[in-house]
Structure 1
């Protein structure tokens, strides 16, 4: 096994591990790497849908997305498609997946199906490190508080994406949940700064103006480059990230007018998490 670090903050590219081996021994290696590096990547892994599902199931119960339809034969898999003519890309702002759920996603396994020759990298930011490096004045203000996370409604997830299809809950309005701003990782015991630019809307117990200001400062801090890594995809790459410990940003640097109109296809499986504590 070889481990190549992607940055000083988080992320590693792993070789020498067979992702089709779902034995307890092999899963422990993968999970230990995930807890250490927060997001891990495996290139040249032409796994099938069934093999991706089998790997994900080792982490826990699988989710189906509240708003987006999965594959016909594999509803657990959301196929993320950006067409050649499209400029938008699903997930193109800083976020933690479905943090608006009462039990937000534990981990995500994303497999690249079709990758453009340029564009479409993904950035990740380490929220354990973000908490450790946050201004102590802000730390003291938020340590025992909760924040509201809102899903923004079904349209947010598919209206800007021509090839993304809503599921039977297409007409559901947005819904919200409150989570601790600083949560504790259930496996490592580490403190995590658990808010994100896309879904976190207000700090409970603060007036709206003060809440907006504090969240603005936190969001800017979370996006600091020294807390991040950036990954350039190739086809048949599998990424696994700890959705509790990171936020991520799919870069939509596709400009058809500049000759950069490329199709990009990814298969996503999410594992159900717990109630943040």
Structure 2
């Protein structure tokens, strides 16, 4: 096994592990890498839908997406499609998946099916490191506070994509939940800065103006380049990320008018998480 770090902050590309092997022994090895690096990548993994599902089930029960139905024969898998004509891509903007749920996603396993010759990288940012490096004055203001996470941020993800129309969309309805701004990782005990630009709307106990000011500073801090890594996809690559510890951003540098209109297809499986505390 070889581990190639993607940046000083987080992320590693792993070689020498076969993801067709869904044994507990292989899972423990992969999960240890995941806890250490937060997001890990495996190239040249031509796994089937059933093999992707078997791998994911090691982490726990699989999650059905709140707004987008999965594949007909594999409802656990959401196929993410960007057509050649579209300039947007599902997952744009910094976010952690479904943080508006009572129990947000634990981890995501994403497999690339079709990748454009240029564009479509994904960035990840380390929220444990974001908490460690956060301004001390802001830390004092948000200590023991909670924030509201609203599903309204997901509206952009489901209404803007013609290529996703092959999946029957669930009825869209807004709902929200409150989570600690600083959560504790259930496996490592590490502190995590648990807000994100897409879904976090207000800090409870502060007026809207002060809340907006603090959140703006936090969101800018989370996007600092020294907290991030960037991954360039190839086909049949599998990414696994700890959704509790990172935020991510799917870069939509597709410009059909400049000859950069490319199709991009990914298969996503999410594992149910626990209630942040």
Task: Sort the TM-score into its range (normalised by shorter chain).
Answer: over 0.9
Cα distance, 1:69 vs structure 2: 1.5
Write out per-residue CA displacement over residues 31-89 of structure 1, whole angstroms, 9 at most, x where no aligned residue: 00000000000000000000000000000000010101110000110000000000000
Instruction: Assess if the C-alpha contact under 8 Å between 1:153 and 1:174 holds in 2.
Output: no
Write out per-residue CA displacement over residues 184-215 of structure 1, whole angstroms, 9 at most, x where no aligned residue: 00000000000000000000000000000000
Mapped to 2, the partners of 1:154 and 1:200 lie a distance apart of 11
Q: For residue 109 of structure 2, what is the aligned residue in structure 1?
A: 109
Cα distance, 1:169 vs structure 2: 3.0
Q: For residue 244 of structure 1, what is the aligned residue in structure 2?
A: 244
Query: What secondary structure, in the 3-state scheme, does the structure 1 residue paired with 2:240 have?
Result: strand
Mapped to 2, the partners of 1:50 and 1:4 lie a distance apart of 28
Q: For residue 169 of structure 1, what is the aligned residue in structure 2?
A: 170
Q: For residue 39 of structure 1, what is the aligned residue in structure 2?
A: 39
Count of residue pairs the alignment pairs up: 276
How do 1:53-132 residues align onto structure 2 when only pairs under 5 Å count?
53-132=53-132
Query: What secondary structure, in the 3-state scheme, does the structure 1 residue paired with 2:53 have?
Result: helix
How do 1:7-22 residues align onto structure 2 when only pairs under 5 Å count?
7-22=7-22
TM-score by length of 1: 0.98
Instruction: Assess if the C-alpha contact under 8 Å between 1:134 and 1:221 holds in 2.
Output: yes
> Using a 3 Å threshold, how does the CA distance of structure 1 residues 154 and 136 change in structure 2: closer, same or farther?
closer
Cα distance, 1:157 vs structure 2: 2.6
Instruction: Assess if the C-alpha contact under 8 Å between 1:153 and 1:175 holds in 2.
Output: no
1:204 aligns with 2:242: no
Q: For residue 274 of structure 1, what is the aligned residue in structure 2?
A: 274
Query: What secondary structure, in the 3-state scheme, does the structure 1 residue paired with 2:254 have?
Result: coil
Q: Higher mean Cα deviation, 153-162 or 54-63?
A: 153-162
Query: What secondary structure, in the 3-state scheme, does the structure 2 residue paired with 1:157 have?
Result: helix
Q: For residue 261 of structure 1, what is the aligned residue in structure 2?
A: 261
Mapped to 2, the partners of 1:155 and 1:247 lie a distance apart of 18
Mapped to 2, the partners of 1:154 and 1:12 lie a distance apart of 28
Instruction: Assess if the C-alpha contact under 8 Å between 2:153 and 2:198 holds in 1.
Output: no
1:160 aligns with 2:151: no
Where structure 2 has 5 or more consecutive residues not aligned to the other structure, the ranges are none
Cα distance, 1:156 vs structure 2: 2.8
Q: Higher mean Cα deviation, 232-241 or 150-159?
A: 150-159
Query: What secondary structure, in the 3-state scheme, does the structure 2 residue paired with 1:152 have?
Result: helix
Query: What secondary structure, in the 3-state scheme, does the structure 1 residue paired with 2:149 have?
Result: strand
Cα distance, 1:24 vs structure 2: 1.2
Query: What secondary structure, in the 3-state scheme, does the structure 1 residue paired with 2:148 have?
Result: strand
Where structure 1 has 5 or more consecutive residues not aligned to the other structure, the ranges are none
Mapped to 2, the partners of 1:94 and 1:187 lie a distance apart of 24
Q: Report the aligned-residue RMSD.
A: 1.0
Q: For residue 183 of structure 1, what is the aligned residue in structure 2?
A: 183
Instruction: Assess if the C-alpha contact under 8 Å between 1:154 and 1:173 holds in 2.
Output: no
Instruction: Assess if the C-alpha contact under 8 Å between 1:153 and 1:173 holds in 2.
Output: no
Q: Higher mean Cα deviation, 177-186 or 18-27?
A: 18-27
TM-score by length of 2: 0.98
